Amino acid sequence: MSEIRVRIAPSPTGYLHVGTAHTALYNWLFARKNGGKFILRIEDTDVERSTKEMVDVILDSLKWLGIDWDEGPYYQSERFNLYKEAAKKLEKEGFLYRCYCTKEEIEERKQKVIESGKAWKYDRHCLNLTEEQKAAYEREGRPYALRFKVPEGMTAFNDGLHGEIRRDNKEIEDFVVVRSNGYPTYNFAVVVDDSSMGITHVMRGEDHISNTPKQILLYKALNLKVPEFIHLPLILAEDKSKLSKRKGTVAVTDYRDMGYLPDAFVNFLALLGWSPSTDKEIFSREELINLFDIKHLSKRGAVFDHKKLLWINSEYIRSMDAEKLYDYVKPLWDKAGFDYSVFSHEDLLRLIDLIKERARLLTDFVDSASYFFKDVEEYDEKGVNKHFLNEYAEDNLKLLYEKLSEIDSFEPDVTENVYRKIVEETGMKAGKLIHPTRLALTGKTVGPSLFHLMEFVGKERTLARIEKALEFIRNRK
């Protein structure tokens, strides 16, 4: 087999969609597994909606995912000469004809056909024009599109996932390949591009199956080699409908901003429609590349399970070295305005190790670290009602304050021993002491190990926060 060459060709009319990222990942894995090339092409022929900003977002999204490309990015907007040459060749050889119909004229004829109870497809009105009619349109200066004259017969191809797919050409209308404004349509440009770039396998969403017969007709008319096609099932929302903005978050950058790790997100995407034939669910990139096989792709759409994504992300966070996590966490701390200059780098790594055991998102390192870097400004209201506003919280915190004031070391085993002795001497349940303390120190009801937390906060700040909590309790009573 010649070198495998695959591509991804997003349109810069919006952010990189999760579905496009999913397709890009499978193409990338396929290329890396087989020693092939992964090409990036930007399909920006929709000049009114395509923007440089969206191009940058797409490139940044792919870089964040770690999906690197071997060639490109190529831009369709810079390849118009190729499309013009191909269209000129097809028109000269009789595969294309000029269509002078306006949108209004087509719509009028379409409505009449629909009202008669029949299905509409272009009626070849302009294919049957006389030379006099054509000349009249030319003198008028009427714009024209170029339509492909679909031949009789059947168009078939062997899909790498779905097997043989056949379509009667009678079902295909004479489709436009060049619009009246001179811009190529998707089906035409993609054929010219894929051929000129030597694409051997076109792996894309199954919503493109209906386009494939049209593209094969163009390949044959241009006397070009037809690539192999693999049409992937679409990603589904949790209600089994097509994943869309109305069903939830679909932009890759949103998941980055929510605090997902790129490796975790890639791991999750890889499992949407592909089975590695193992019960294992956490894979390194190298493992994904080595295991990836088109034969193990599913023909059914996979559901985008947010809970599973969150679980995978938490597993990655827990297993990641604190030093590596620091590179992700530091920019978030900077953005939050935390002043951690008084802490050593080793202290910050210990803090990351402390938080990561309960973290599910990178943003948790902001929420769960705020009370390490600045004083508690407010308390969780439900926690206040449950752990502060009762008959025992004030007395217990006073007693704790006294006992903690007597010790010098705030190492976890020392502070834990203080709590153990209070519980033994008073007979109270440990929770009646631990929960009010956590709320006093963090303003929250959940968090990392209390005794490790106290060590990091230190004796002076711990006592100050207990005093502040006692004052709060007295003011609320």
Confidence at residue 342, expressed as pLDDT on a 0 to 100 scale: 85
Region 184-188 average pLDDT: 96
Return the DSSP state at 47.
T
Region 113-119 average pLDDT: 92
**Amino acid code (one letter) for 110:** K
Q: Which residue has the tokens 């349940």?
A: 429
What tokens does 381 get?
């209201």
The rounded distance, in Å, linking the Cα atoms of 89 and 335 is 57
Kindly write down the DSSP assignment for every residue of 261-318, as one continuous string.
Answer: -HHHHHHHHHTSSB--SSS-----HHHHHHH--GGGB-SSPPB--HHHHHHHHHHHHH
422 pLDDT higher than 70: yes
Q: Give the pLDDT band of residue 477 (cuts 50, 70, 90).
A: confident
3 pLDDT higher than 60: yes
Residue 416 CB neighbour total at 10 angstroms: 15
Give pLDDT tens digits for 237-281.
Answer: 988 888 877 766 789 999 999 999 999 999 999 999 999 888 899
Q: Which residue has the tokens 């973290």?
A: 359
Q: Look at 130-139, 172-181, 219-228, 366-375 and tell me which has the smallest mean pLDDT.
A: 366-375
Identify whether the C-beta of residue 433 lies closer than 8 Å to the C-beta of residue 423. yes
Catalytic residue among 88, 245, 374, 421: 245
Domains delineated in the chain: 1-72+233-319 (3.40.50.620), 82-178 (3.90.800.10), 320-373 (1.10.8), 381-476 (1.10.10.350)
Confidence at residue 86, expressed as pLDDT on a 0 to 100 scale: 98
Give the HSE-up count for residue 292: Cα atoms under 13 Å, Cβ half-sphere. 24
Region 286-297 average pLDDT: 95
The rounded distance, in Å, linking the Cα atoms of 107 and 100 is 14
The rounded distance, in Å, linking the Cα atoms of 225 and 239 is 41
477 annotated among ligand-binding-site residues: no
Region 338-365 average pLDDT: 94
Give pLDDT tens digits for 39-87.
Answer: 999 999 887 788 899 999 999 999 999 999 999 999 999 999 999 999 9
Q: Give the pLDDT band of residue 1 (cuts 50, 70, 90).
A: low
Is the backbone peptide bond immediately before 73 cis, with ω within 30 degrees of 0? yes
The rounded distance, in Å, linking the Cα atoms of 320 and 353 is 9
Confidence at residue 247, expressed as pLDDT on a 0 to 100 scale: 66
The rounded distance, in Å, linking the Cα atoms of 430 and 436 is 10
Q: Which residue has the tokens 């493109």?
A: 208
Region 127-147 average pLDDT: 95
Give pLDDT tens digits for 11-29.
Answer: 998 899 999 999 999 999 9
Identify whether the C-beta of residue 14 lies closer than 8 Å to the C-beta of residue 42. no
| Spatial CA neighbour of 41 closest among 194, 224, 214, 218 | 194
Confidence at residue 93, expressed as pLDDT on a 0 to 100 scale: 97
Region 450-468 average pLDDT: 94
**Amino acid code (one letter) for 184:** P
Confidence at residue 278, expressed as pLDDT on a 0 to 100 scale: 85
Q: Look at 243-247, 353-357, 388-392, 395-399 and tell me which has the smallest mean pLDDT.
A: 243-247
Kindly write down the DSSP assignment for every residue of 162-199, as one continuous string.
Answer: TEEEEEEGGGS---EEE-TTSPBPHHHHHHHHHHHTT-
Residue 299 annotated as catalytic: no
What tokens does 97 get?
């004809």
The rounded distance, in Å, linking the Cα atoms of 431 and 415 is 15
455 pLDDT higher than 80: yes
Q: Give the pLDDT band of residue 324 (cuts 50, 70, 90).
A: very high
Confidence at residue 2, expressed as pLDDT on a 0 to 100 scale: 83
Region 205-214 average pLDDT: 96
174 pLDDT higher than 60: yes
Give pLDDT tens digits for 436-445.
Answer: 999 999 999 9
**This prediction's pTM:** 0.91
Residue 154 CB neighbour total at 10 angstroms: 10
Residue 58 Cα distances to 11, 104, 151, angstroms: 9, 36, 38
For residue 476, count CB atoms less than 10 angstroms from its CB and return exposed for 0-12, middle for 13-18, buried for 19 or more.
exposed
